[in-house]
Amino acid sequence: MKIQDARRLDFEVDKLTNSIENILTGETFETEIVRLHVEDVRLLKHSKWQFNWRTELKNEKREVYALVTKENPFILHGIMSIEDLGDHFFLHLIESASFNKGHTKLYAGVAPNLVAFACKKSFERGYGGHLAFVAKSALMEHYEKSLGAKRLYGNRMFLDQAAAYPLVCSYFKDFNDA
């Protein structure tokens, strides 16, 4: 993939939690990450999305996953698109639902939960948790501080095993990379 073809991501790592957390009450909810397929497009209608997830679902090289709560698996809190590049995963898109953005958001921890899952998949495939993405320039330092991401070149960043492992362990308590 050419770097100029990649979108620069601007997801917010608001809080590292072990789930998602209600901003007002502090209550946490157990989450699941579910794979979405083209036939799941109807689930996208429940929230306004910035990206065209229908296009992502049609791309056979990419895997699209949604974050839901166990209590209500039909409300998507966030979505991401990743691709297995043979030695690492590439995060193409990631987005929190409109009700989880900005000053009026309802839940914290959505984006890091999805990033942790992508790193977990990388460990499971034997890639050491490596995950790459292209960041907006203004957020590169934010990703370094919040996720432990490192700069590769230009706006391309990555999480290595040292950054990915504690992130995965915080969201997936039963994780074992052996």
Tens of pLDDT along the chain (178 residues) come to 343 356 665 555 555 566 788 999 999 898 999 999 998 887 777 668 888 898 999 999 999 999 999 999 989 999 999 999 999 999 999 999 999 988 899 999 999 999 999 999 999 999 999 999 999 888 899 999 999 999 999 999 999 999 999 999 988 888 876 5
* Inside any domain, residue 176: no
* Inside any domain, residue 114: yes
What is the token pair recorded at 178? 């052996």
Global confidence as pTM: 0.88
131-134 vs 89-96, strand pairing mode:
parallel
Please give the Cα distance from 85 to 13 (Å, whole number).
Answer: 24
Q: How many domains are contained in the chain?
A: 1
**Which residues span the domain enclosing 155?**
3-171
* Inside any domain, residue 145: yes
Please give the Cα distance from 131 to 118 (Å, whole number).
Answer: 7
Interior CA angle at 41 toward 39 and 44, to 5°? Answer: 155
Residue 62, judged by CB atoms within 10 A of its CB (0-12, 13-18, 19+), counts as middle
Q: Per DSSP, what are the bridge partners of residue 108?
A: 21
CATH number of residue 75's parent domain: 3.40.630.30
* Inside any domain, residue 178: no
Please give the Cα distance from 6 to 1 (Å, whole number).
Answer: 8
How far does Cα 89 stand from its chain's mean position? 12
